[in-house]
A and B are shown apart, each in its own frame.
Chain A
Amino acid sequence: MDGSDEELAAAAADGNREAFAALLTRHYDRLFAFAFRLMGARDQAEDLTQDICAALPGKLRGFRGDARFTTWLYRVAVNAAHDRRRRRATRAKAADGWGDWEVNRQAAMRETREGLDWLTQAMQALPDDLRDTVALILGEEMKQAEAAAVLDVSEGTIAWRMSEVKKRLKALLEKEAEA
């Protein structure tokens, strides 16, 4: 089925099955790749993609047509990733709270560091919002304005986050050099 993403999305929101199928097929690969870049691991990316696909029919009604469909889809993906991470965090969160959870997480990371390549390390060293930004800017090659639209923050925030990413990764490299 032909038509722009936005036309298909509008038709799908009105119940057009064919339009929905075409839209999803068109964007599935891109979605999966993005999910991988958000989560940093294949199994988690699979799970996330599955979540998004299952929820998409319901979400589609919230697509307002005021943004590009891909922008909206990325936003859905980022939100789904947040939800996943939050659930994971809640499960892992010991009774003593976030602080201990973070300490444990760092310890576990150190132990398994041997087995991870530097990319995974680098991505895991970043807090979630920075990682989302990296996935959009570097992974999807978005402009700052586009990434800002997806993440619902200002362009200035994106710029600031990218400089923060540089800073943190540099610190990480230096730490490794010392070790």
Chain B
Amino acid sequence: MSDEFDLEKLADALKSATPAPDAEKKADNIAAAMKNFDARQENVAEARPTSETTQTGAFFKGVARMFNAMTSRAAMATTTALVAVGFTFYVVYPQLETNRGLNLPTPETTINRPEPAPRPDGTLKTTDGEAAQNGRVVLAEEAEADAVSDIAGGLVTLAPQAEMLVAPSTGIAPASPSRSVAPVDGYAIVADQAMPAEPDTEAFANEETNPLKITGEEPVSTFSIDVDTAAYSVVRSSLMRGYLPPKDAVRIEEMVNYFPYAYPAPEGVHPFQPTVTVTGTPWNAGTNLVHIAIQGELPALEDRPPLNLVFLIDTSGSMESANKLPLLKQSFRLMLAELRPEDQVSIVTYAGSAGQVLEPTNASERSTIMAALNRLSAGGSTAGQEGLQQAYAVAEDMAEEGEVSRIILATDGDFNVGIYDPDALKDYISDKRDSGVYLSVLGFGRGNLDDATMQALAQNGNGTASYIDTLSEAQKVLVDQLSGALFPIANDVKIQVEFNPAQIAEYRLIGYETRALAREDFNNDAVDAGEIGAGHSVTAIYEITPVGSDAIMSDALRYQAPAQGSGSDELGFLKLRYKNPGEDTSTLIEVPILPGMGEANTDTSFATAIAGFGQLLRDQKYLGDWGYGDAIALANANKGEDNFGYRAEAVTLMRLADTLSQE
């Protein structure tokens, strides 16, 4: 017998064994196909004024989209939302805001994503030679100030999402068009002036703090909810190391939503309950805060459906350090204790040792699962083979009626999961999202962390992105709040608030910059938005300036009639849309916002303190002389029960930030 199996023999046998098609069957099958074809034409003849083929085809190919898909945080907001933000700044692409509505002539450019260069923790990285030649040097998210000063010429882009730089040879550079080139926070941000005037959403202007809106001009505010908490962990990790976090790492809504709140639980038909509270603003006597709290129901734990979990674990060499793979193993060990015997777990690795390392195994077989986890070792090149596809295939095989399937991707930022084209990756995940498999992302370690891609993947996969920096964070994400992280109760939750210009002169939304939606997206069920998990609470805070307040910042216009309201004394009108998991049609909830509605309590006040803290870290321009001391006092006074100590920890972080900001 030869050493090599002879493939030619197999090929010949395969071909000679293939029978000729049965003529009768052939005729039948073709006839059946023609019949379906005809039936289809009747159905779609009217429903399809434009060719959907063109739309879907063109949609994902747009170069602009390709960027939007992965480079910008705004883009990550939701599949579509992002552009809404860009829209605020340039009214260039009027059709950009709907998911399927993009119908642009698009060049079929393939963008080659350069391999991420290895980066030691906290140091400067150039992603590739070409980028450097192009005058763009990319600074890792947490690069410290001294590293910055090393760069001559000051051509520095501070980009936490630097991963997706595109080789200049493609002729497309992800840079900001003529926008602010001012040094920010000691880091020089230089826009690439060679850019065509394309509505590029990677640039930071998109993520600038939500500006004050004048109710008479723009009464409607629309956004997607966000239950991610990664930003808070990143902020904590920076402060604990003795540095103020990069401003762009601060997503205020993720900080606010990091904390559990005991908002009123839902009663009635909807899976969550909105509660609106109107209170005074600690940092401005002339304005009020509208605090919108959403509390998701917590179904009885014993009723929860069986869970199929596929751990997709990055085992590339960079995962070796103690706060990565070892922490991941410990974290999963904590989580295993929370699973029930009928839940199933499978482990797929990518990079280094590739493939399925644990067949679907009942959670009761703890030792088998732990043994498989412990066998994982970091190392080897990043020759990841179709890790993500394999994970989805495993998840789909495990899925049965009535069960919840979720992939948990754990990585330090190496997203070499087998699909290289960011657009294809996003496309793939969106497709899979529709098949009912959720995707969550856990980030580990700093220095390589690709916050942008994490967000993009999780949001397109209907999941959450969390950043695990300590075992206690693992405890929070994977144990204390496991059911919220794993069991969705409402999908595509969107919020729209219409303010009454007769009562409210100006308003601004605090945070949610990356989650903005176009006004018309609210009613478009095809537009993806955030998910609420079991027991999750979500908070959104508006600062509003009543008509006649001396805190109004903008003067009335000389040539426009003053805004006319309906005369109603409502401050505004809150609308929420959500879909029940597995459904395609959304349900609407409406709540009028009345003056003096609700009562402030420790939860709303603590959320306000965190919103203030986030603004102090990010952009203080609306805070007046309100400072860390005030935030600390407000948070301390409203710690409430704080069973897990999260709020006490937040006060510690505020104190650290206070000290660091005085250096």
Contact = CB atoms under 8 A, between A and B. Distances in A.
A123 B15 CA distance: 13
A49 B400 CA distance: 26
Interface stretch (B16-24, B186-194, B556-564): B16-24
Given A64-B56, A153-B386, A166-B7, A99 B19 contact: no
Interface in A126-150: 134-135, 138-139, 141
Nearest to B37: A57
Nearest to B418: A154
Contacts of B33: 20, 24, 53-54, 56-57
Contacts of A32: 21, 26
Interface string A16-37: 0100110011001100110011
Contacts of B19: 36, 42, 45
B34 A64 contact: no
B51 A152 contact: no
Nearest to A170: B5
Contacts of B525: none
Contacts of B14: 37, 119, 123, 134-135, 138-139
Contact of B386 (A64, A123, A154): A154
A106 interface: no
Contacts of A21: 30, 34
Contacts of A56: 33, 36-37
Nearest to B31: A53
B10 A63 contact: no
Interface in B388-403: 389, 396-397, 400
B359 A139 contact: no
Given A152-B389, A166-B5, A166-B7, A64 B397 contact: no
Contact of B21 (A17, A20, A28): A28
B393 to A, nearest CB: 8
Interface of A: 10, 12-15, 17, 20-21, 24-25, 28-29, 32-33, 36-37, 42, 45-46, 49-50, 53-58, 61-66, 86, 89-90, 97-99, 117-119, 122-123, 134-135, 138-139, 141, 152-154, 156-157, 160, 162, 165-167, 169-170, 173-174, 177
A53 B32 contact: yes
Given A29-B20, A173-B5, 18 more contacts: A15-B44, A17-B34, A24-B33, A29-B21, A56-B36, A62-B53, A119-B17, A138-B7, A139-B11, A139-B14, A153-B386, A154-B386, A156-B383, A165-B5, A166-B4, A166-B7, A169-B10, A170-B5
Given A57-B37, A57-B40, A58-B36, A65 B30 contact: no
Interface in B432-462: none
Contacts of B25: 46, 49-50
Contacts of B108: 66
A28 B38 contact: no
Nearest to A141: B11
Contacts of B7: 138, 162, 165-166
A28 B420 CA distance: 34
Contacts of B359: 98-99
A49 B29 contact: yes
Contact of B57 (A33, A42, A65, A170): A65
A160 B56 contact: no
Contact of A33 (B10, B18, B29, B40): B18
10 contacts: A17-B38, A25-B30, A28-B21, A29-B21, A65-B57, A117-B17, A138-B10, A154-B385, A154-B420, A160-B385
A89 B398 CA distance: 11
Contacts of A169: 5, 10
A125 to B, nearest CB: 11
A57 B307 CA distance: 36
B389 A66 contact: no
Interface residues of B, number: 50
Contact of B53 (A20, A63, A97, A119): A63
B1 A177 contact: yes
Q: Which of A15, A17, A139 counts the most chain B CB atoms within 10 A?
A: A15
A62 B59 CA distance: 13
Interface in B361-398: 383, 385-386, 389, 396-397
A46 B52 CA distance: 31
A118 B5 CA distance: 13
B18 A139 contact: yes
Contact of A86 (B4, B11, B396): B396
B26 A65 contact: no
B657 to A, nearest CB: 45
A173 B32 CA distance: 42
A52 to B, nearest CB: 8
A146 to B, nearest CB: 15
Nearest to B390: A129
Interface in B36-78: 36-41, 44-45, 51-53, 56-57, 61
Nearest to A89: B397
Nearest to B385: A157
B385 A156 contact: yes
Contacts of B61: 66
A81 to B, nearest CB: 14
B422 interface: no
Given A139-B11, A166-B7, A64 B32 contact: no
A102 B503 CA distance: 68
Contacts of A20: 33-34, 37
B223 to A, nearest CB: 32
B360 interface: yes
10 residue pairs, one from A and one from B, having the closest CB atoms: A64-B57, A138-B11, A57-B37, A32-B21, A53-B33, A170-B5, A53-B29, A169-B5, A119-B13, A57-B36
Nearest to A167: B5
Nearest to A153: B386
